[in-house]
Structure 1
Amino acid sequence: MAVSAYDLTGRTAFVTGAASGIGRASAVLLAEAGATVHCADRDEKGLHETATHIRDAGGTAHTHPLDVTDREQLRRAITSCDRLDVLAAIAGIMHSSPVLETRDEDLDRVLNVNFKGVLYACQEAARLMIERGTKGSIVTMASGAVDTGGPGLLCYGAAKAAVVQLTKTLASEVGRYGIRVNAVAPGWIRTPMTDRHDDEAQTHTEALMSRMSPLRRVGEPEDIAHAVLHLASTASSFTTGQILRPNGGVSMPW
């Protein structure tokens, strides 16, 4: 029987933002595919829940409580891995404000987490892969916001656009080492980050987003986790510098 291209047995993945949402779903799916998963997040309770879920299912998980905006914390965590085949840089935060009301501290906070946190993780992971001769895969998390824009999305969209540029530039620089770098740009996904904390507002928002999609639904974290797994696996061995858009068709030109 042929070995599945999605079999990650014997490989090691490092996932930021693993305490909830897309990060948790990705960590769980990578573990189900056979990878040893290092889970990183500043939410220690959520990290413990993710790792417990993986272990209860027979997988192997390690936890790293850390702040992705702290390069040294990331360096220590990533270099502690016995080997590193996959980085999934998923940690992120949401902020919405009109351009004319956006403060310096708003922009700095979002850029620090959503761009610099991804940059630091990519730098440390790529260095380790090169040093150890690993032909690995780096997966970053962009957003459908880079295609559609929208009111209030200056900080978030700018940071995600920077992630796209980072992805393409890094892919062009490390490809000669056999390292692939790709991004996932999700549409609207039902996660704690998109929770409106009001049932009526949440229902209204999801109904609106569903109407915008040809599939007539919003996404679930598992929808994006499968995209991460694809880019992490040898099924995408000839794919690099690309932006995969699992968004329900929202940004499809009409």
Structure 2
Amino acid sequence: MAVKAYDLTGRTAFVTGAAGGIGRACAVLLAEAGALVHGADRDATGLHETAALIKDRGGIARTHLLDVTEHAQVRQAVESCGRLDVMAAVAGIMHSSPVLDTREEDLDRVLDVNFKGVLYACQEAARLMISNGTRGSIVTMASGAVDTGGPGLLCYGVAKAAVVQLTKTLATEVGRHGIRVNAVAPGWIRTPMTDRHDPGAQERTEALMSRMSPLGRVGEPDEIAHAVLHLASDASSFTTGQILRPNGGVAMPW
């Protein structure tokens, strides 16, 4: 019964940020669980590589080259699925600046991608699920940054906190349709995005996180993908409006 609960055969999933990192891991794992996966990203090369990985493992993949900050593009891509059972809104960017040095354009850019992009994906997924009478699952990507302040993380933390509020609010509004909405709030995960964010400090940051985690290490994208699969599947059928924290035992140490 436990294995069957994670079987997504016959279901359709949509994953934003599917070109790499956590988004790619989610797309591949959902496909391995049996879902037809629609991957979306603005990185055409990375998106093609993800689709190839899925197909090499016997899965089915569709790709959508889009910018999640463009609502019309998100709407068109989601509607083209015809049916949708799972939305994994993973796309995001990193930004770091001290509060006193944060510019309006910094905040706008991070909110556009990390909050509005998630909002658009959630809105269009919920609309399609409701219109089709689908008892679906929407999974958003928050962060351990929502649990505590951290130097330089104003824009990122604010956007991810907004994602948490979106998740909890939407869960109360669509639950009567049988749609569940939950968030995953990872700790420090080794991904290309974290490497690009601060390459010089990556080794030091990983060493710090490893010391602060009871598990003694940082996380991997596949470990977050398994959390998403749990929330996407029937294994979490009575779970909604919740924040799952796969963070190695610590949210965000400073």
Q: Which of the five TM-score ranges fits, normalised by the shorter chain?
A: over 0.9
Identity of aligned residues (%): 83
Question: Relative to structure 2, which stretch is displaced further, 173-182 or 205-214?
Answer: 205-214
Q: 2:34 is matched with which residue?
A: 34
- TM alignment of 1:90-105, pairs within 5 A: 90-105=90-105
Amino acid at match of 1:59: G
User: What TM-score, normalized by structure 1, do the two folds share?
Assistant: 0.97
Inter-CA distance 161–133: structure 2 relative to 1 (3 Å threshold): same
Q: How big is each residue's C-alpha offset from its partner over 1:183-215, in whole Å with a ceiling of 9 and x where there is no partner? A: 000000000111058876322111111111010
1: CA distance, partners of 2:200 / 2:101: 26
1: CA distance, partners of 2:88 / 2:80: 16
- TM alignment of 1:2-13, pairs within 5 A: 4-13=4-13
1: CA distance, partners of 2:55 / 2:61: 7
Give the RMSD, CA atoms, in angstroms. 1.6
Secondary structure, aligned partner of 1:77: helix
1: CA distance, partners of 2:252 / 2:109: 31
Amino acid at match of 1:160: K
2: CA distance, partners of 1:197 / 1:171: 32
Shift of 1:234: 0.2
Amino acid at match of 2:58: G
Q: Paired residues, what number?
A: 253
The runs of 5 or more residues in structure 2 that have no matched partner are none
Q: 1:59 is matched with which residue?
A: 59
Shift of 1:83: 1.1
CA contact (8 A) 1:8 1:35 kept: yes
Q: How big is each residue's C-alpha offset from its partner over 1:38-65, in whole Å with a ceiling of 9 and x where there is no partner? A: 0000000000000000001110000000
Secondary structure, aligned partner of 2:5: coil
Q: 2:167 is matched with which residue?
A: 167
CA contact (8 A) 1:19 1:49 kept: yes
The runs of 5 or more residues in structure 1 that have no matched partner are none
Amino acid at match of 1:185: A
CA contact (8 A) 1:28 1:54 kept: yes
Q: 1:245 is matched with which residue?
A: 245
Inter-CA distance 206–3: structure 2 relative to 1 (3 Å threshold): closer
Question: Relative to structure 2, which stretch is displaced further, 98-107 or 195-204?
Answer: 195-204
CA contact (8 A) 1:14 1:78 kept: yes
Amino acid at match of 1:202: Q
